[in-house]
A and B are shown apart, each in its own frame.
Chain A
Amino acid sequence: MWPFFLCIFVCFMKNTMLGIAFQLEGVKMPKQQNYLPTQAEYQQLVKQYEPKRPLLKNCLRAFFAGGIICTIGQFFQWFYMTFFDFTEVTASNPTVASMIILSMLLTGLGVYDHIAQWAGAGTIVPVTGFANTITSAAIEHRSEGYVLGVGGNMFKIAGPVITFGVFAAFVVAIVRILVEKLRVI
């Protein structure tokens, strides 16, 4: 609630100060000064006109798209376990690699972003989405060269995920060590 009041307060102060400034300089306030809605009023007005994101539809689509991607992953796992010498645990590495290559190919062919507009979170959350962020940034910045362009920008979107992922793992590891050393468990 407080940002709302702060907003009103700031608007009020701004208008008052402007008014004083204009009067001090002997300039008339422009005639149109007060006809516009305040920022808070305008936010309300905008809300009436902005269509809501179709939440239920997006969730259902994400569910099906994500499900299909996982099914494809499942197929790869089965494939590697059946035709190669992999166990259920070791098959996960080639499975993830296959999914990443598939996603990179679709990104490079310019298809992934169209699927994502339909699927939403369904294509962002799985590992395919992560591969897409890196590939798309690498393609985008190819024109600035391999080092400054591709190398420098490849992790532009994926970077935060890696940063916070590594940091979260670090925190969890510290907690685990402490708990073990203190022999709580």
Chain B
Amino acid sequence: MLQGQQSWLFSNRPVLLATAVAGGPFEARSAIAADFDILHDDLWLGQNSFEKAEKKLLEEACLASIQKAGIQKEEIQFFFSGDLMNQIISSSFTARTLGIPYFGLFGACSCSMEGLALAAFVVNAKGAKYALTACSSHNGSVNKQYRYPTEYGAQLPPTAQWTVTGAGAAVVAAEGTGPRITGATIGRVLDLGVTDPFSMGAAMAPAAVDTILAHFRDFNVDASHYDLIATGDLGEIGHAIATDLLRRQGIEMPGNIFTDCGVIIYQDNQPVMAGGSGCACSAVVTYGHFYNRMLKGELKRILVVATGALLSPLSYQQKESIPCVAHAVALEWEGV
């Protein structure tokens, strides 16, 4: 169970039984569009607010993953979910719809792996047969809360990132066929004094590096143990910084193994500046793109390190720097 200082080894190897991802119109043109289960051509999803649209995305992803798992929602014991909205309304309102006993999480964009780690822990400890974990973000609702109105004409700097409109959900089961969740490393909150909310990648890179090093130390493995190590939403700049920080620790991350969900999600011709971000970024790439690649047998062992910037619009206006956290979950595909 407890492995090293801050990690869990899941000896019963819970299964990632089924996943589902939903996305908006911008994601329908992304590099991983084919990996989405549900795509919408309307940013509003027919709702009258961005917040309601985000909740609908999350509900759809949850229901689709339950359906793909081939179970009834009543069979699921616990629901772990998080998002970026104030008072995590998207998650709580989705929990209201689903009626599954619920843990609301906030780890900003690290929610995806925070939820997966906790769901796997509970299932591994026989605290549940099935657990559902999900998270969501919406470009409109996040911009509205953290930045400017959507239609406001402010010029974004090259370090800015594009919040992914989407939701990802996964059913974790004690038994079944699918990638196994072998371990998780829970990160500590780090703050290296970055204050610019348009430079999230730089703010979060040290937290990602810290968690990766802790994972390697606790499990006594190195990068070659994995076919792929993906950070959540560092973007191009954060990814380059993280690579540099790891190099300073004497760890050379091979370019074909070390990647970032925010870098691979969008196509080069999409105007996303440094890359994608938001809770949904790591969720849709992991539960969609990586999950499918694992099922195809292209990836055997992966480590996903979801990164979260724990700032609020108030803390930023009060000139506080940006504390960040990262949680890692290791997945392993043994084949059918």
Contact = CB atoms under 8 A, between A and B. Distances in A.
Contacts of A132: 151-153
Contacts of B190: 36
Contact of B151 (A32, A46, A136): A136
Contact of A35 (B52, B157, B249): B249
A43 B151 contact: no
Interface in A45-61: 45-46, 49-51, 53, 58
Contacts of A7: 193
B150 interface: yes
B51 A116 contact: no
A143 B48 contact: yes
Contact of A37 (B48, B52, B144, B192): B192
Nearest to B271: A117
A42 interface: yes
Contacts of B202: 46, 49-50
Interface string B41-84: 00000001111100000000000000000000000000000000
Contacts of B49: 143
A49 B241 contact: yes
Given A37-B192, A50-B202, A50-B237, A32 B210 contact: yes
A37 B157 CA distance: 25
Given A42-B193, A53-B158, A115 B237 contact: no
B151 A113 contact: yes
B153 A112 contact: yes
B271 A36 contact: no
Contact of A136 (B153, B155, B210, B241): B153
B153 A116 contact: yes
A140 B142 CA distance: 12
A181 B171 CA distance: 79
Interface residues of A, number: 43
B155 to A, nearest CB: 4
Given A36-B190, A143-B50, A46 B241 contact: yes
Contacts of A165: none
Interface in A96-119: 107-108, 110, 112-113, 115-117, 119
Contact of B153 (A42, A46, A123): A123
B153 A51 contact: no
Contact of A117 (B51, B156, B193, B199): B156
A47 to B, nearest CB: 9
A43 B193 contact: yes
Nearest to B154: A116
Contacts of A40: 193
A157 interface: yes
A96 B329 CA distance: 57
Contact of A157 (B150, B152, B199, B240): B152
Contacts of A53: 157-158
Given A36-B192, A51-B159, A115 B150 contact: no
A30 interface: yes
Contacts of B149: 136-137, 139-141, 156-157
Contact of B206 (A36, A112, A113, A141): A36
B316 interface: no
B214 A137 contact: no
A32 B213 contact: yes
B50 to A, nearest CB: 7
B142 to A, nearest CB: 12
A157 B147 CA distance: 11
A116 B193 contact: no
B257 interface: no
A49 B240 contact: yes
Interface string B80-120: 00000000000000000000000000000000000000000
A159 to B, nearest CB: 13
A140 B193 contact: no
The 9 closest A-B pairs by CB, nearest first: A116-B153, A143-B49, A39-B193, A140-B149, A136-B151, A136-B149, A42-B192, A136-B152, A120-B155
Given A32-B213, A113-B154, 11 more contacts: A32-B210, A36-B245, A40-B193, A46-B202, A51-B158, A58-B155, A108-B151, A135-B151, A136-B151, A136-B153, A143-B52
10 contacts: A32-B210, A35-B249, A39-B193, A49-B202, A51-B159, A107-B153, A116-B154, A136-B150, A140-B144, A143-B49
